[in-house]
């Protein structure tokens, strides 16, 4: 929500304001909700761990063949650099890099 303009840091009070403000000022948000493509033959349910090979996140919702997962972006990118595939129950899944995440990563590289 912060990247897509869903949070106004110059407005009044809202639920979670302290956390949002702290993360904005620290400039380091480690977890992001990302889109996951799940193979049809995999019985995945919310709460399933995503490994690569260490834990990088967990599914939060599933509507096959898609799902949403809360992913530790730093761990996922390291695993990707090391050539490790993201897996649920030893079955590879695809985590999508949306344009806003690519822009965020490029901005961090420039800094």
pTM for the full predicted model:
0.76
Name the residue ranges covered by the structural domains of the chain. Answer: 30-110
Q: What is the dihedral of CA 16, 21, 22, 26, to 10 degrees?
A: 140
Name the class of domain 30-110.
Answer: mainly beta
pLDDT at 54 over 90: yes
At 21 the pLDDT is 76
Q: Residue-wise over 73-108: b if at least 16 C-beta within 10 A, else e?
A: bebbeebeeeeeebbbeeeebebeeeeebeebeeee
Closest C-alpha to 95, from 106, 75, 104, 2: 75
Give the Cα separation of 8 and 12 in Å (integer).
9
pLDDT range class, residue 102, cuts 50, 70, 90 = confident
Whole-number mean pLDDT of the chain? 87
């Amino acid at each position: 929500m912060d990247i897509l303009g869903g949070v106004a840091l110059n407005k009044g009070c809202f639920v979670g304001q302290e956390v949002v403000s702290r993360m904005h000022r620290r400039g380091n948000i480690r977890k992001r909700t990302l889109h996951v493509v799940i193979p049809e033959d995999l019985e995945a349910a919310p709460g399933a761990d995503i490994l690569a090979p260490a834990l990088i996140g967990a599914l939060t919702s599933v509507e096959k063949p898609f799902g949403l997962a809360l992913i530790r972006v730093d761990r996922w990118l390291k695993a990707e650099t090391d050539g490790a595939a993201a897996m649920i129950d030893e079955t590879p899944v695809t985590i999508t890099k949306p344009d806003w995440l690519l822009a965020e990563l490029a901005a961090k590289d420039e800094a």
